[in-house]
Amino acid sequence: MRETKITSKNITIVKLAALMTACVIALSALTGCSSSGENAGQTAQETQEADSQKEETSTSQEKADASSDQAAPAEQTASSDQVTPADQTASSDQAAPSDKADASSEETSSLNPLTLKVLKVGKADAMVLTCGDAVMVIDCGEKEDGEEVLDYLAQKGAKKVDILLITHFDKDHVGGTDTVVEGIPVDRILMPDYEGTGKQYKEFVDVLDDLGMEPERVAEVLNLQLGDAKVKVEPPASYEIPDTDDEYDNNFSLITTVDLGKNRLVFTGDIEEERIRQWLDGGTVQKCDVLKIPHHGFYNEPLEEMVGIMQPSYAVICDSEKNPAEKKTVSMLEEKGVQCLQTKDGDITIVCDGENIEVSR
């Protein structure tokens, strides 16, 4: 065996080699740790970022869910709010006609009938309206016709007249009023706000003075009640007497409208062309069931226009065999489908119940 000689130089080399080996191992270890740390750091950071994103995503989803939860009731409410009125409207629209019809039927069925009696007193106006115990007289014809009015009131069992209305002061309207006020108590007397000049008017005013009765001069629209019926009285726009019209008082006539339920009756006194035009221009003319044709059936163009607007089912004319209505007026009414009722053929009785109308002679 060859013997190896160990010297201090050899020992030094061995130590250096060992030291280098240790350094290499330590360096490798450090490099591995650093790489591992960086990777670990990156992994941890990525994990935190991922977790953060998950949390954000989760939070966003929760907010979206919450928003959805909150929005859904609102949308349902809004939808409900939108649908409900429509449903209610539809229901109301379906139910309303029946309900209204029933209510209307109940209202009219509870009304006292309104009876109009137009007396045959020649070419003159004398009419009596009764509704329950309430009595209204419109004009009293000529002097001798007052007794006719009293006789009819006695037949009806009337104890008094609630309203006596004189449309104007021509003798064929005011003539019998003094007889009536002397023959039966009268609560209220209505007449135009002007002074008449005829003998019959003066006799009437004298009787009122003797009885201590004060008539009401109608200068503005007046609304009254006659039993269950409503009464509207319209005066002319002015009572100024024109210089060129000898028949001016015809146009001073009071126009009277009587409503019971769905039924309407209109009384026009003796209004002529000028007053008819004023009335039409005033915009208060409405449809009616019964129209008392003015001035005993004399024809004029505004009358035809008025009838066209009012479209009555029945037209009443106060005339006589001696002084009948103008044929042109009667023909005009027939052409418009209006049933013409003339006192020359006898008394006229019209009964209204608020819905229907019955006519008898």
User: What is the longest distance spanned by two Cα atoms in the chain?
Assistant: 187
Domain membership flag for residue 190 = yes
Instruction: Give the Å distances, CA to CA, from 298 to 104, 123, 276, 323, 329.
Output: 38, 12, 13, 11, 7
Pick from 88, 108, 128: which residue ends a domain?
Answer: 108
Q: Closest by alpha carbon to 180, among 197, 200, 199?
A: 200
Higher pLDDT, 31 or 212: 212
Cβ-contact 250, 271 below 8 angstroms: yes
Domain membership flag for residue 1 = no
Higher pLDDT, 92 or 216: 216
pLDDT band at 171 (very low <50, low <70, confident <90, very high): very high
Say what the pTM is: 0.72
Cβ-contact 268, 280 below 8 angstroms: no
Instruction: Give the Å distances, CA to CA, from 34 to 38, 47, 210.
Output: 6, 19, 137
pLDDT digits (tens, 9 = 90+) for 287-325: 999 999 999 999 999 999 999 999 999 999 999 999 999
**Per-residue model confidence (pLDDT) at position 50:** 42
Domain membership flag for residue 3 = no
Pick from 108, 124, 151: which residue ends a domain?
Answer: 108
Pick from 69, 92, 108: which residue ends a domain?
Answer: 108
With H, G, I as helix, E, B as strand and everything else as coil, classify residue 86: helix
* pLDDT, averaged across the chain: 82
Query: Looking at residue 257, what DSSP letter applies?
Result: E
271, 340: one domain: yes
178, 92: one domain: no
Strand partners, 315: 291, 340
pLDDT digits (tens, 9 = 90+) for 128-155: 999 999 999 999 999 999 999 999 999 9
- Give the neighbor-by-neighbor strand order of the sheet with 357-360: 216-218, 186-192, 161-165, 134-140, 126-131, 114-118, 348-352, 357-360
Q: How many domains does the chain have?
A: 2
**Per-residue model confidence (pLDDT) at position 3:** 42
- How many whole angstroms separate alpha carbon 117 and alpha carbon 74? 67
- How many whole angstroms separate alpha carbon 56 and alpha carbon 52? 6
167, 299: one domain: yes
Check which CATH number belongs to the domain holding 279 and give it.
3.60.15.10
**Per-residue model confidence (pLDDT) at position 109:** 78
Q: Give the CB-side neighbour count of residue 189, counting CA atoms within 13 A.
A: 23
**Per-residue model confidence (pLDDT) at position 340:** 98
Higher pLDDT, 212 or 29: 212
For the cut 50, the answer to whether the pLDDT of residue 202 exceeds it is yes
* Bridge-based pairing state of the strands 161-165 and 186-192: parallel
**DSSP H or E segment with residue 304:** helix 301-310
pLDDT digits (tens, 9 = 90+) for 41-87: 444 444 444 444 444 444 444 444 444 444 343 344 434 444 343 34
242, 342: one domain: yes
Query: Looking at residue 32, what DSSP letter applies?
Result: H
Domain membership flag for residue 35 = yes
- How many whole angstroms separate alpha carbon 262 and alpha carbon 287? 11
DSSP codes joined into one string, 119-186: ---SSS-EEEEEETTEEEEEEE-SGGGHHHHHHHHHHTT-S-EEEEE-----HHHHTTHHHHHHHS-E
Q: Closest by alpha carbon to 140, among 203, 195, 197?
A: 203
Query: Looking at residue 253, what DSSP letter applies?
Result: P
Residue 88 sits in which domain range?
8-108
Domain membership flag for residue 2 = no
- Average pLDDT for 229-241: 96
Domain membership flag for residue 338 = yes
**Per-residue model confidence (pLDDT) at position 248:** 86
**Per-residue model confidence (pLDDT) at position 24:** 53
pLDDT band at 279 (very low <50, low <70, confident <90, very high): very high
103, 151: one domain: no
* Bridge-based pairing state of the strands 222-226 and 161-165: unpaired
- Average pLDDT for 165-185: 98
